[in-house]
Structure 1
Amino acid sequence: MNNLWLKKVLPHVLAILVFLVVAVLFCKPVLDGKTLNQHDTGIEGWRGSAQNAFDVKEKTGTMPLWSTTVFSGMPNYQIAMEGKSALPVDLNKVFGLGLPKPMNFFFIACVCFYILCVVLRFNPVTGILGGLAFAYSTYNPLIVSAGHETKMMTIAYMPFLLAGLLLIFNKRYWIGLAVATLGATLVLMANHPQIAYYFFMIAGAVTIGYVVVWIRNKDFKHLAISFGLSAVAALVGLGCYSLAFLTTKEYKEYTMRGGKSVEIKGNEVKAVNTKGLDPDYAMSYSMSMIEPIIMFMPKAVGGSSGTTLKEDSKVIEKLAAAGVPEMQAAQFASQFPAYWGGMVSPEYSGGPAYIGAVIFILAIIGFVIVKNQLKWPLLIISVLAIMMSWGKYFFGFNEILLNSLPLYNSFRAPSMALVICQLTLPLMAVITVYSLFFEKNSGDFLKENFKKILYTLGGITAVLALLYIGQGYSSAIDEQIIQMQIDPNGGDTLNRAIIAGMKADRQSLFGAQVMRAVLFMALVLGAVYAVLKNMIRPAVAVAVLAAISIIDLWVVDKQYFSDDHYVAKDEIANQIEAPTAIDQEIFKDKDPHFRVFDVAGMDKNRVSYFHRSALGYSAVKLRVYQDIIERYFAGAPNEQILNALDVRYIITRDESGQERLVPNPNAYGAAWFVKAVKPVATEVEELQAIGSTNLKDTAIVPQSALKSGSNLTADSTSSVALIKYTNDEIEYNASSATGGFVVLSEVYYPAGWNAYIDGKQTDIVKTNYFMRGLVVPQGKHTIKLVFEPETVKRGMSISYLSSWLLIILVLGGFFMQWWVDKKKAAHGV
């Protein structure tokens, strides 16, 4: 009995050890006390925006709900949030065996895909092949290196959730419910909605495939049970995620991703009514039509945007032929990117979404010869993902998706859709391997289909040859090069020489990638042929393919995830925690309210780390603030707007790039009474009026926001003073003999901010398009603003209750499956 149990468990333990060893070796600098220098989570990324929240928690013991340091204020629960859970452990640490970052990301991805293979009843060596290929697909190291950890964690848990659904669909109801519930929670709690959305598209395709079979077999009872259990798993997972889900859903309606009511082009503003992101913005980071082939050939379109032309570039030859000295020609060439895909300036490609040549070849073979229930759903959703990745280069189709798919218009970066293929193609590859080598009668299946395999590989080769011969090797960047002033004598001869040289480079590189692909096809064919002729055992062949696959991925990955990406932890700390001389100067100002405007601070959160910034970086800025940025900060910032934001310090740079601090003594302060209120009828009028109005004296408000009979003209002795300023609570003392209208230098956000005058709630008036205002009665009063969003309270309660349901369903599901299996064994079933 014990030997039988050991025989069953030992292969899985060995698989886990393989995943552990590979993860440790892949991230070896961590063992030397180093950490990744992640640009998107460093001081200019997430860390810069979140530091204020950590500082507040250290002082008060509680994470604030509102941030005062990014874009003059936004909900902090979109940056850093803590919830309440009944779970006794951190599930990420459990799945990751407590490994440090980034080892844990790759290890978890391996294990989750391996679990999917176990559920499909594949043998361990097949699971190892799939697990390594899935985890080390090049897109994963790319996003980990950039600091997109929530994206990576969501990707890592996708196979685990799919495993739970497949258990349910294959009538392993109890354990399926447990795994699916846990999987749904892990995927959603990883908190990357776009990746989760792509997974649910995969799950939807797979579900439809099963439903067709159930209906054909008239198995309506199983259909109902499967839908019911899947719905329970989804609801519990959504319940655990409810704090983030409810707050994000509410916040989205007030952001760039919720649509817009005005459109800004330079100084012109017009009324519109759109939902979701603008199509142009949503379609940014689209792949050219040829580009998805990088899943098979990593440098087919040049690698990353940061890779420049090589020293042997044909550009040098073409320029030399046009009369440019060779040394000068080489300098020219070194300035141009080798990348020629669809994501050219101002967009950027960090590297290829390479899934491995071995995996891609096996998947294509599988789509041709394998008969499996998952085949057609995986093929259809993979093709759809490629079409989605084309974005603006296949606009008609993708515009339909933007307008018809629920929530889809809230996302951007169509290239990210290849995450779908990152799961579907490795899954199809392991299905192919198992069908060819390990399934019952696999020997006969291999003999029957060997010619089809040959034809498939021949077809792939023919397609690649046609692509090599038939395409023009043009890129959108060519137009930019034509516009450059290169020849001091005028004309575009040198421009065209550069483009001709770049096209020659592109063709040469593409040809080399085709030869590389043919080599890998030969290796796969050799392994298949060796098994067919009984030269090696199937397990050995798959082990060899797994080794080739991980070596191939490793070599490509390390071009974008090398040891150079690691730095000493002390060095990171010094970079982040060391204020500059300008920071030290600003620290001297002890006023709790003023803001800092860094002219070069858009898309950077460095100022936010130390000060209250009027700019910063967030992928989901408030819509009204984005409108201000587009209308009044696009060129030289509007002084009235800066003053109204209480910007007391402006950081500029001289010609040498040296930072310079410019004090702004005209900042209006935290709040002020105005002499007049100007009602306007439309948001267009609001936005335009604030640019030509003395906002110290006059407030621009919507006509509909004011109640008749209110006194809005304050006397000359009226005053308002800030007496308390924290993230979630602000207090002022106001005094006016006649009453009047007070403008607060705070960003307008109606979903959670409440105002109280002497303890009695009063309306907050949208003022100056993006600020808050209050009608204050005569006399002396205490004004209090409190950020108390109901969605946070509701989400906290639901998530806590759901965490208990998660524990019950997971433990209960595993117990009940054990009980059912025990009874079946007792009856000899």
Structure 2
Amino acid sequence: MKNKVVQQVLPHAIAVVIFLLVSVIFCKPILDGNVLNQHDIVGWKGMAQNAFEYKEKHGHFPLWNPNLFSGMPNYQTAMEGKYVLPDLNVVFTLGLPKPISFFFLACVCFYILCVSLRLRPIVGILGALTFAFSTYNPVIIGAGHETKMMAIAYMPLLLAGILLVYNKRYWVGLALTTLGTMLEIASNHPQISYYFFIIAVAITIAYLFTWIKNKEYKHIGIALGITAVSAIVGLSVNMLPILTSTEYAKATMRGGKSVEIVGDSVKAANTTGLDASYAFRYSMSKAEPLVMMMPGAFGKGSATPLGENSKVVNKLVNQGVPEANAMQFAANLPAYWGGMSGPGEGTSGPPYIGAIICILAIIGCVVVKHPLRWGLLAASVLGIMMSWGSFFSGFNLFLLDYLPLYNKFRAPSMSLVIPQLTLPLMAALVLHYLLFDKNSREHLQQNFKKILYTLGGLTALLALIYIANDYNSAGDESLKQMLISQAGMNDDMARSVISGMKEDRSSMFGGQILRSIGFMILVLGMIWLYIKNYIKPIVAVAILGVVCMIDLFIIDKEYLGEAHYMPADELQEQSFAKTSIDEAILKDTDPNYRVFNMAGDRFNESRTSYFHKSIGGYHPAKLRLYQDVIERYLSVNTNPEILNMLNTKYVIAANPENRQPMLMPNGQAYGHAWLVKSIKQVKDDAEELQTIGITNLKDTAVVQADFAAAAAQPQWDSTAAIKLTKFDNDVMEYSFTSSAPQFAVFSEVYYPYGWNAYIDGKKVDYVKTDYVLRGLSIPAGTHAIKFVFEPESYKKGVTISYVGSFLIYIFVLGGFFMAWWQNRKKNKTVKD
């Protein structure tokens, strides 16, 4: 009995050890005490510093963050989960440090998926390693997209649960689907979870065809019922972030817009979701998804240069440029020529899955007989079509208009996470089918010609693309104009440069085709050696696996190598060292002034937010109203009165003499709150946004007619006063005194989903004022005014999450127990 248990457990233990060793080897600099220098994590630390300081003082995170964009909800920055569960991320990753933990977790989850399909452990190990080390993962980890990586890592775990249910292993499927849903959603990257939902739907439809064909109507009801209930329970424990984020999204750029800003004019608009032009940024050109198999076909990352051996050198030499100068010039030209070459766009590297994996997956789509085949194929094709974005606009505009929630996301290229999961899974299926199935030799004999034809057809297709490609890039025209205007080239010389770049692109694409053919020969060789009985299946898989990992490691190290690590204290000093300007500003005892840093990338940096309440900041989902103000008044020609109404006491600007930052105190800031002499009514957002730019906002408040009932005209009293008496992230208190009714404008961002106003403890209505601020009518007398951030979504989310966490225990532990009990009874029956 003990020997049997050891035999069952040992392969899985070996797999875990392999995952651990490979992950540690790949991330070796971590063992030397270094950390990753991740741009987005540095940005997040700047965003979240105020929240962590608040927690250290009060014992919990605040719900409002005043240090970003003059104030915004803290939901997407730092918020604690509310449930009675252990940190399962630590459990699944064995408490390993980042980024070792990311790769280990992805390996374990994909391996569980393979085990759930009863694939051989050696096949599961190969599939898991290639899934975890697909180049997109090191790329996003290096950038600091950690929530995205976690969501990707948990996708196969959730798919394993669903497939267990679909294959009639109901109890263990119930447990794993519930657990997988909880962990996937808790990763807090809705776009990746959305792509997983597409995979799940495609696979479900494929299974439904089989079930209906076999008249398994009872199983359909049971399977879909269990999956739905498991998903609901898994979602319930995440209702706190779901409810708050859903509510918040309505007020962000992803919720649509009410105005259209064109130059100095503002027009009314009415959209839901992102504009197509914004949503389709980072689209891939038609042939570019081939980088999943041919990583260098499009020049790898945007920062990759052509190099000194570029064909551009010969072109420039023929134009009379000295060879040394030509080589130096060509070395700095961009090698990348894919679809993400427009202004402000780029890519860190290709989402390379592995040539061998792609080749095996294509073979699998032809020869594997399994309900998964069509689901995986459909999801893969859809993911590729979605990645084309603006390069396949008719189809993708249709999705943007009619596919629920799809218009909340941008960066179509990200949809290749779909084949990142489906292709390694198909590759694992075909390896098991051809090498380890009880009829594997028979399968090979029946399908060997199909395999030859498939790879021949793939080669022919690549050759046709090579011949038909014009090797143009979306950035060629802008590069040409830059060469003429900035480099002093004439039109002929600029055209020669572009021509040389096209020749380079043709060479790199053709070289990658030859590389792919080499891998096809390797795959065919392993199959032929197995057919001839020269090698065992396990040897064939081991050879393919080793070659796969060497191939991936070579590419991966370009995007997450030793140069990406540095000592933790050095990173902290580099990112957040306090300057003399910071120290000068922090001497101000006022608790609520704001700082506008114009010396850097003012709306894409969080260093200022680390120390101060910033006008700018760094966040992927800003409030729509605030973004409108930025676009109209702060992004190009800064309007000083807008800065004044935002209580900007300090401006950091670049010294025109030496371009170094310098401090400019602003004595004209309006303060925390002020009383106006009159209210000017406007009809809509467009008129309001335009009006605040031509109005003396110190004396006049601009309010829409819809709020007129709560915004009475004030009776000016020169002796009236309002003063901030307490500032807390979630609570602001003011003292007020006047002999006549007044209207106060508060220099705090308007956000209707949770901020409540109270006068002497009684809740009152406040209004949207000056487009982005809050206004309040106050009766005569002496009053205490309080604003409290107490969103109902947060309260409901906490309650549901607590209940859901208890249900998680019941479903997960109960499901595993019932699976064990059922299996025990079955074994006992067999023995009897």
Which secondary structure does the structure 1 equivalent of 2:70 belong to? coil
Alignment of 1:308-707 (within 5 A): 308-344=305-341, 345-486=343-484, 491-599=490-598, 600=600, 601-655=602-656, 656-707=658-709
Check conservation: 1:468, 1:510, Cα contact below 8 A.
yes
* Offset at residue 85 of structure 1 (A): 1.3
Match of 1:788 among 767, 787, 790: 790
One-letter code aligned to 1:641: I
Which secondary structure does the structure 1 equivalent of 2:723 belong to? strand
- 2:39 match: 39
| TM-aligned CA distance change 1:100 to 1:709, over 3 Å | closer
Check conservation: 1:604, 1:617, Cα contact below 8 A.
yes
Residues 417-467 of structure 1: per-residue CA shift (max 9 Å, x gap) = 000000000000001100100012101111121121111111111111222
- 1:280 match: 277
In 2, Cα distance between equivalents of 1:595 and 1:316: 52
Alignment of 1:68-217 (within 5 A): 68-87=66-85, 89-217=86-214
| TM-aligned CA distance change 1:638 to 1:708, over 3 Å | closer
In 1, Cα distance between equivalents of 2:442 and 2:392: 43
In 2, Cα distance between equivalents of 1:545 and 1:799: 45
* Offset at residue 495 of structure 1 (A): 1.1
Q: Which moved more, 1:582-591 or 1:707-716?
A: 707-716
Residues 651-693 of structure 1: per-residue CA shift (max 9 Å, x gap) = 1113543111111111010000001110111111100000000
In 1, Cα distance between equivalents of 2:79 and 2:357: 38
- Where does structure 2 lack aligned partners over 5 or more consecutive residues? none
Check conservation: 1:675, 1:698, Cα contact below 8 A.
yes
Residues 665-722 of structure 1: per-residue CA shift (max 9 Å, x gap) = 1101000000111011111110000000011010000112122793423211111111
In 2, Cα distance between equivalents of 1:179 and 1:249: 26
Which secondary structure does the structure 2 equivalent of 1:493 belong to? helix
Which secondary structure does the structure 2 equivalent of 1:612 belong to? coil
Check conservation: 2:679, 2:713, Cα contact below 8 A.
no
One-letter code aligned to 1:369: V
Give me the identity figure in percent.
Answer: 57
In 2, Cα distance between equivalents of 1:334 and 1:55: 46
One-letter code aligned to 2:138: P
In 1, Cα distance between equivalents of 2:778 and 2:825: 74
- 1:7 match: 7
Check conservation: 1:137, 1:353, Cα contact below 8 A.
yes
Which secondary structure does the structure 2 equivalent of 1:77 belong to? coil
* Offset at residue 482 of structure 1 (A): 2.3
One-letter code aligned to 1:526: G
* Offset at residue 371 of structure 1 (A): 1.3
In 2, Cα distance between equivalents of 1:300 and 1:824: 54
Check conservation: 2:710, 2:766, Cα contact below 8 A.
no
* Offset at residue 490 of structure 1 (A): 6.7
Which secondary structure does the structure 2 equivalent of 1:469 belong to? helix
| TM-aligned CA distance change 1:219 to 1:554, over 3 Å | same
- Where does structure 1 lack aligned partners over 5 or more consecutive residues? none
| TM-aligned CA distance change 1:373 to 1:814, over 3 Å | same
Residues 710-740 of structure 1: per-residue CA shift (max 9 Å, x gap) = 3423211111111111100001111111121
Q: Which moved more, 1:475-484 or 1:190-199?
A: 475-484
- 2:725 match: 723
In 2, Cα distance between equivalents of 1:763 and 1:708: 6
One-letter code aligned to 1:37: N
In 1, Cα distance between equivalents of 2:401 and 2:148: 25
In 2, Cα distance between equivalents of 1:29 and 1:593: 42
One-letter code aligned to 1:60: H
In 1, Cα distance between equivalents of 2:784 and 2:830: 78
One-letter code aligned to 1:801: V
Whether 2:241 is the aligned partner of 1:239: answer no
One-letter code aligned to 1:759: G
Check conservation: 2:711, 2:743, Cα contact below 8 A.
no
TM-score calculated relative to the size of structure 2: 0.98
* Offset at residue 492 of structure 1 (A): 0.9
Which secondary structure does the structure 2 equivalent of 1:649 belong to? strand
Check conservation: 1:72, 1:747, Cα contact below 8 A.
yes
In 2, Cα distance between equivalents of 1:19 and 1:748: 49
Residues 236-276 of structure 1: per-residue CA shift (max 9 Å, x gap) = 11101100000011011111000111111111111111110
Match of 1:270 among 256, 267, 271: 267
Q: Which moved more, 1:452-461 or 1:351-360?
A: 452-461
Root-mean-square deviation over aligned CA pairs: 1.2
In 2, Cα distance between equivalents of 1:717 and 1:17: 76
Whether 2:297 is the aligned partner of 1:296: answer no
Check conservation: 2:653, 2:664, Cα contact below 8 A.
yes
Residues 735-768 of structure 1: per-residue CA shift (max 9 Å, x gap) = 1111210000000000000000111111111000
In 1, Cα distance between equivalents of 2:575 and 2:330: 36
In 1, Cα distance between equivalents of 2:509 and 2:677: 69
One-letter code aligned to 2:728: T
* Offset at residue 145 of structure 1 (A): 0.7
Residues 296-331 of structure 1: per-residue CA shift (max 9 Å, x gap) = 000100000011111111111111111222233233
- 2:28 match: 28
Which secondary structure does the structure 2 equivalent of 1:796 belong to? helix
In 2, Cα distance between equivalents of 1:764 and 1:83: 31
- 1:56 match: 54
Residues 344-381 of structure 1: per-residue CA shift (max 9 Å, x gap) = 13111010000000100000011112211100111111
* Offset at residue 218 of structure 1 (A): 1.8
Residues 598-647 of structure 1: per-residue CA shift (max 9 Å, x gap) = 11321111100010000111111101001001111121211110000000
* Offset at residue 512 of structure 1 (A): 1.2
In 2, Cα distance between equivalents of 1:514 and 1:554: 20
Which secondary structure does the structure 2 equivalent of 1:40 belong to? helix
One-letter code aligned to 1:400: F
Alignment of 1:791-810 (within 5 A): 791-810=793-812
One-letter code aligned to 1:353: P
Runs of 4+ in 1 over 4 A off after TM superposition: 487-490
Residues 532-579 of structure 1: per-residue CA shift (max 9 Å, x gap) = 110000011001111111111000000111011010112122234420
Whether 2:13 is the aligned partner of 1:16: answer no
* Offset at residue 117 of structure 1 (A): 0.5
In 2, Cα distance between equivalents of 1:104 and 1:709: 55
In 2, Cα distance between equivalents of 1:79 and 1:592: 22
Check conservation: 2:259, 2:266, Cα contact below 8 A.
yes
In 2, Cα distance between equivalents of 1:710 and 1:260: 28
One-letter code aligned to 1:3: N
Whether 2:737 is the aligned partner of 1:735: answer yes
One-letter code aligned to 1:2: K
In 2, Cα distance between equivalents of 1:707 and 1:466: 69
* Offset at residue 210 of structure 1 (A): 1.1
In 2, Cα distance between equivalents of 1:412 and 1:154: 17
Check conservation: 1:674, 1:713, Cα contact below 8 A.
no
Check conservation: 1:720, 1:734, Cα contact below 8 A.
yes
In 2, Cα distance between equivalents of 1:498 and 1:289: 24
Aligned length: 826
In 2, Cα distance between equivalents of 1:669 and 1:709: 21
